[in-house]
């Protein structure tokens, strides 16, 4: 699964979690979305691990700076399965 | 006679595994009901007027669904996992009404552990032991701290 495919699937997850619609792009970061706080980030990680069947290591999600890097991390975890 | 306050259990995050189950019984006693009314002031007639509730087809005053959320808060903070926990979210669907005096058994199953966030997801089911029905089902996200 490439970055674009991961982001397309992420979009459905974000649509379920966010009250206000968020259009995902590779460049989008959490700081640009008012609703995207640390608590919502937990819900995102919980949903992503379940939806993609992957597990993240402690701290690695926090190292991603935008949706594109997050999608790349998910793609790497998928390749390791 | 003084009764010592209940002490929260203390379950490590590492001791929790996916599939683990826990449960506890609760009762909607007059004290629970009256304290909820006093705290939140929801005196909607469906909750406080017996005749009104019966006219709408219920067997009696319908207990506030949020009382069950209170039981979830107690369950997570005091029983499973206990003192290290922080309730992040609760999503309950109230399937059947509960009435004053009903006894409920809350069953929880750890459906997911997210090590990167030290968060567990619990699937919840309230069995109404008095009525023999499922009163509510749902899920909760719980952060489990290190101490």
Could you write out the DSSP letters of every residue in B59-109? SSPBPPTHHHHHHHHHIIIIISSBTTEEEEEEEEEE-S--BTT-EEEEEEE
Backbone phi and psi for residue B22, each to the nearest 5 degrees, phi listed first: -150, 160
* Distances in whole angstroms, Cα of residue B84 to Cα of each of B8, B14, B99: 9, 12, 32
- With CB atoms and an 8 Å threshold, state whether B121 touches A45: no
B8 occurs within a structural domain: no
- CB contact at 8 A, A27 and A66: yes
B2 occurs within a structural domain: no
CA distance B115 to chain A (A): 7
pLDDT at B34: 98
pLDDT at B32: 98
Does residue B135 have a pLDDT over 80?
Answer: yes
B13 occurs within a structural domain: no
Backbone phi and psi for residue B92, each to the nearest 5 degrees, phi listed first: -110, 140
B1 compared with A38, residue with greater pLDDT: A38
User: Mean per-residue pLDDT for B62-86?
Assistant: 97
Chain A: residue whose CA lies nearest to B122: A46
When CB atoms are compared, the residue of B89, B115, B116 closest to A43 is: B89
pLDDT at B64: 98
pLDDT at B4: 81
User: Mean per-residue pLDDT for A72-76?
Assistant: 97
pLDDT at A3: 95
- With CB atoms and an 8 Å threshold, state whether A42 touches B115: no
Task: Give the residue among B104, B103, B30, B19 at the shortest CA–CA distance from B61.
Answer: B30
CA distance A5 to chain B (A): 23
**Cα B35-B127-B79 angle, rounded to 5 deg:** 65
Radius of gyration of chain B (CA): 17
Q: Name, in order, each residue with C-beta under 8 angstroms of B102's C-beta and a sequence gap of 6 or more.
A: B27, B28, B63, B128, B129, B130, B131, B135
| Strand spans (E) along A1-81 | none
Is the CB of B119 inside 8 Å of chain A's CB atoms? yes
Task: Give the residue among B96, B92, B77, B73 at the shortest CA–CA distance from B139.
Answer: B92
- CB contact at 8 A, B99 and A37: no
What are the pLDDT digits (tens) for B12-53?
999 999 999 999 999 999 999 999 999 999 999 999 999 999
pLDDT at A75: 97
* Distances in whole angstroms, Cα of residue B89 to Cα of each of A59, B75, B112: 22, 14, 14
B15 occurs within a structural domain: no
B83 occurs within a structural domain: yes
B106 occurs within a structural domain: yes
Chain B: residue whose CA lies nearest to A55: B114
pLDDT band at B2 (very low <50, low <70, confident <90, very high): low
B11 occurs within a structural domain: no
SS3 percent helix, strand, coil of chain B, rounded to 5, is 25, 35, 40
- With CB atoms and an 8 Å threshold, state whether B116 touches A43: no
What are the pLDDT digits (tens) for A2-38?
999 999 999 999 999 999 999 999 999 999 999 999 9
Contacts A61 to B, Cβ<8 Å:
116
Does residue B3 have a pLDDT over 80?
Answer: no
What ipTM was estimated for this complex? 0.85
Q: Which domain holds residue B83?
A: 21-144
Instruction: Return mean pLDDT, chain B.
Output: 96
Q: Any idea what the CATH number is for the domain that residue B134 is in?
A: 3.10.129.10
User: Mean per-residue pLDDT for A51-74?
Assistant: 96
When CB atoms are compared, the residue of B112, B116, B117 closest to A50 is: B112
B119 occurs within a structural domain: yes
Give chain B's domain count.
1
Structural domains of chain A, ranges and CATH numbers in brackets: 3-80 (1.10.1200.10)
């Amino acid at each position: 699964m490439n970055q674009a495919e991961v982001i397309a699937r992420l979009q459905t997850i974000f649509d379920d979690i966010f009250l206000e619609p968020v259009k995902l792009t590779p460049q989008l970061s959490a700081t640009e979305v008012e609703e995207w706080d640390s608590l919502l980030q937990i819900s995102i990680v919980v949903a992503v691990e379940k939806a993609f069947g992957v597990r993240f290591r402690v701290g690695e999600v926090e190292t991603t700076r935008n949706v594109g890097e997050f999608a790349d991390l998910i793609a790497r975890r998928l390749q390791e399965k | 006679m003084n009764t010592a306050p209940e002490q929260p259990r203390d379950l490590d995050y590492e001791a929790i595994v996916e599939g683990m189950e826990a449960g506890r019984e609760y009762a909607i006693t007059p004290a629970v009901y009256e304290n909820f009314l006093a705290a939140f002031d929801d005196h909607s007639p469906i909750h406080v007027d017996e005749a009104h509730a019966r006219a709408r087809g219920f067997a009696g005053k319908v207990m506030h669904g949020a009382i069950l959320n209170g039981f979830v808060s107690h369950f997570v903070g005091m029983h499973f996992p206990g003192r290290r926990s922080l309730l992040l979210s609760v999503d309950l669907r109230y399937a059947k009404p509960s009435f004053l005096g009903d006894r409920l058994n809350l069953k929880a199953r750890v459906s997911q552990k997210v090590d990167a966030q030290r968060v567990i997801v619990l699937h919840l089911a309230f069995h109404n032991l008095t009525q023999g029905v499922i009163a509510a089902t749902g899920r909760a996200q719980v952060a489990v701290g290190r101490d």
